[in-house]
Amino acid sequence: MKLLQDKVIKEGIVLGNQVLKVDSFLNHQMDPVLMKEVGAEFARRFADAGVTKVLTIESSGIAPAIMTALELSVPMIFARKHKSLTLKDDIFVEKVYSFTKQETNEITVSKKFLSAEDRVLIVDDFLANGEAAFGLARVAEMAGASVAGIGIVIEKSFQPGARLLAEAGYRVDSLVRIASLDEGKVTFVEQA
Amino acid sequence: MKLLQDKVIKEGIVLGNQVLKVDSFLNHQMDPVLMKEVGAEFARRFADAGVTKVLTIESSGIAPAIMTALELSVPMIFARKHKSLTLKDDIFVEKVYSFTKQETNEITVSKKFLSAEDRVLIVDDFLANGEAAFGLARVAEMAGASVAGIGIVIEKSFQPGARLLAEAGYRVDSLVRIASLDEGKVTFVEQA
C-alpha cells in the first residue's frame, strides 16, 4: 500500500535494527484518514472471504479494525489484555507473550460474541513474531469459528511471524512489508 | 442521541445500581456503524469549537475518538495507561484513579503531539467520577493547550463526574445521560 509506505518513510523512526516507531500516525497519535484508507484496503483484499467478525487486540489494533469492520459491515471485537471487572461472563482465555514488553498477557474474549458460524478476520497494527495473531486465531478456533485471514498494517518480514502463520495455514495479508531496518533505514520487501 | 438510547435499552445490561454493561456494542464488541454515527454527532456538537486534536485514553475510547477525528479532519491521540517501551520521548504523565478497577494508572502522552496552539476535544466512552476526563484535561493543560470540550458517549449522571467537570469550567457534552440504574432498569435524564 503506497500511501502507507510513504508515511513510514516520512514519519517512521528506526530504533536499532528491530524497532520501527510509528507513534505519529499508528500507535499513539493516529491519522484518521489513513486509518480509513487502511480499513478500505483490508475490506477490498478480504472482500471474498465471507468475513462475519473482525477481531483485534487492544490498543493499537482498534482503529484499523473498526475502520475495516465499518467497510465490511460486520461487528468488531477487541480482545482485552487484562481481565475486566465488568466482563464476568464465560470467556475464552489465551496466554500471549509479548517480546516487545517481555511479559505474558492473558487475552480474553467473551464467549457470547464468537460462534461456530463465524468467519473471523484478525486485524493488528504490527506483525513481528506472530504471538498476538496466533493467540487471536486460537481464541477464534476455541469458539469453533474459522479464521478468514489475518490483516496486518505493518509486517516486519525479517522476524518469523508471517512465515510461521503461513506455515500454519493462515492467509496473511500485510499492507506494508519491511525487509530490514538495518543501518537506521527502512527497506521494503518488493511487492507485486 | 436517540439511536444510542435505543441501543442502551435494547442491549445494555444493568449490574447492581452502579454498573451498565454495554460490551455488545461499545467496549468489547463494537458496532462500527454506531461508532461512525457517534463520531458524526460529536463533530456536529463541537463544530464551532476550533478543535485541532481529539484526545482519548485506551482502550474503549479509541473507536469513538477515531471516528470523531475523521469527521473533524484532525489527528487523534490516545493516552496510554502503561508506559510503552518504544515511547521513550519526553512524556506528560498524570495519575488517574479508576474506581471501577480500584487501581491508579499513570497515563502518558508524548510531548511532541500536544502544543500551546492546540484546542483539544477529549472523547471517552463513559463518564462516572470524572477521573479519566480530569486526567486527560490536565495532560492537555500541561502542554499549554486549551480544552475545547469533553465528549462522552454514556454519562452516568448520578455519579459526580459531569457536575465536577462543569464546575471546573469544562464544556461537557454527553450523547446519553443516565439518571439512574435503580431496580435493574435504565432511566435517562430528560434531554431537551
pLDDT of res. A98: 87
Q: For cell 474503549, name the residue.
A: B60
Tell me which of A14, A25, A29, A103 to substitute to probe the interface with B (most B C-beta atoms closer than 10 Å).
A29
Spell out where A31-114 has E strands: 53-57, 76-79, 91-98, 103-110
Grade residue B46 by pLDDT with cuts at 50, 70 and 90.
very high
Grade residue A101 by pLDDT with cuts at 50, 70 and 90.
confident
pLDDT of res. A127: 98
Average pLDDT over residues A51-74: 98
pLDDT at B85 over 80: no
- Distance from chain centroid for Cα A176: 12
pLDDT in tens, A8-45: 999 999 999 999 999 999 999 999 999 999 999 999 99
Average pLDDT over residues B35-49: 98
Taking CA A145 as the corner, what is the angle to CA A139 and CA A146, rounded to the nearest 5 degrees? 100
Chain A residues with CB-CB distance to B59 below 8 A: 58-59, 62, 78, 80
Average pLDDT over residues A89-117: 91
C-alpha cell at B32: 462500527
* Amino acid at the residue B184: G
- Whether residues B77 and A28 touch (CB distance < 8 A) is answered with yes
Taking CA B26 as the corner, what is the angle to CA B79 and CA A35, rounded to the nearest 5 degrees? 55
Distance in angstroms between the alpha carbons of the first and the last residue of chain B: 11
Nearest to A62 among B33, B62, B74 (CB): B62
Chain B residues with CB-CB distance to A107 below 8 A: none
Tell me which of B20, B30, B56 to substitute to probe the interface with A (most A C-beta atoms closer than 10 Å).
B30
Chain A residues with CB-CB distance to B91 below 8 A: none
Grade residue A191 by pLDDT with cuts at 50, 70 and 90.
low
Phi, psi for B161 (deg, rounded to 5): -55, -50
B96 close to B161: Cβ distance less than 8 angstroms: no
B177 CB neighbour count, 10 Å cutoff = 19
Give the CATH number of the domain where residue B110 resides: 3.40.50.2020
Max distance between CA atoms of chain B, in angstroms, equals 49
- Whether residues A66 and B30 touch (CB distance < 8 A) is answered with yes
Chain B residues with CB-CB distance to A57 below 8 A: none
The residue of chain B nearest to residue A110, with distances taken between CA atoms, is B28
Q: Provide the domain count of chain A.
A: 1
Rounded to whole angstroms, the Cα distance separating B76 from A60 reads: 12
Cite the DSSP H helix spans in A23-144.
Answer: 32-45, 62-72, 131-142
Q: What percent of chain A has pLDDT over 90?
A: 90
Grade residue A99 by pLDDT with cuts at 50, 70 and 90.
confident
pLDDT of res. A89: 62
More confident: B178 or B99:
B178
Rounded to whole angstroms, the Cα distance separating B125 from B27 reads: 8
Confidence check on the interface: ipTM exceeds 0.85, yes or no: yes
pLDDT at B52 over 80: yes
Chain B residues with CB-CB distance to A80 below 8 A: 28, 59
CA distance A52 to chain B (A): 13
Average pLDDT over residues A75-96: 83
Return mean pLDDT, chain B: 95
pLDDT of res. B88: 59
Max distance between CA atoms of chain A, in angstroms, equals 49
B1 close to B36: Cβ distance less than 8 angstroms: no
pLDDT of res. A86: 57
C-alpha cell at A3: 500511501
pLDDT of res. A102: 87
Taking CA B123 as the corner, what is the angle to CA B119 and CA B129, rounded to the nearest 5 degrees? 115
Rounded to whole angstroms, the Cα distance separating A68 from A127 reads: 17
pLDDT in tens, B126-148: 999 999 999 999 999 999 999 99
Which residues does B contribute to its contact with A (CB < 8 Å)? 15, 19, 21, 23-24, 28-33, 35-36, 58-59, 62-63, 66-67, 69-70, 73-78, 80, 84-87, 100-101, 109-110, 112-113
Q: What percent of chain B has pLDDT over 90?
A: 90
Q: Which domain holds residue A142?
A: 2-188
The number of C-alpha atoms within 13 Å of B165 and in the hemisphere containing its C-beta is: 30
pLDDT at A100 over 70: yes
Average pLDDT over residues A41-70: 98
pLDDT in tens, B105-129: 999 999 999 999 999 999 999 999 9
Report pTM. Answer: 0.96
pLDDT in tens, A135-148: 999 999 999 999 99
Question: What is chain A's Cα-based Rg?
Answer: 16
Q: Tell me the torsion sign for CA atoms A9, A15, A17, A18.
A: negative
Using alpha carbons, list the distances in angstroms from residue B83 to A21, A32, A143, B44, B92. 15, 23, 33, 34, 11
CA distance A46 to chain B (A): 17
What percent of the residues of chain A are helix, what percent strand, and what percent coil, each to the nearest 5?
Answer: 30, 35, 35
C-alpha cell at A45: 483484499
Query: Residue A97: is it exposed, middle or buried by C-beta count within 10 angstroms (0-12/13-18/19+)?
Result: middle
User: What's the CA dihedral at A86, B20, A61, A109 to 10 degrees?
Assistant: 40
Which residues does A contribute to its contact with B (CB < 8 Å)? 15, 19, 21, 23-24, 28-33, 35-36, 58-59, 62-63, 66-67, 69-70, 73-78, 80, 84-87, 100-101, 109-110, 112-113
pLDDT of res. A88: 60
- Whether residues A113 and B86 touch (CB distance < 8 A) is answered with no
- Whether residues B86 and A21 touch (CB distance < 8 A) is answered with yes
Rounded to whole angstroms, the Cα distance separating A81 from A94 reads: 10
pLDDT of res. A126: 97
Using alpha carbons, list the distances in angstroms from residue B141 to B56, B116, B118, B137. 14, 8, 10, 6
Closest by CA to A153, choosing from A67, A49, A47, is A67
Nearest to A75 among B31, B85, B101 (CB): B31
Instruction: Specify the DSSP element, H or E, that contains A2.
Output: helix A2-11
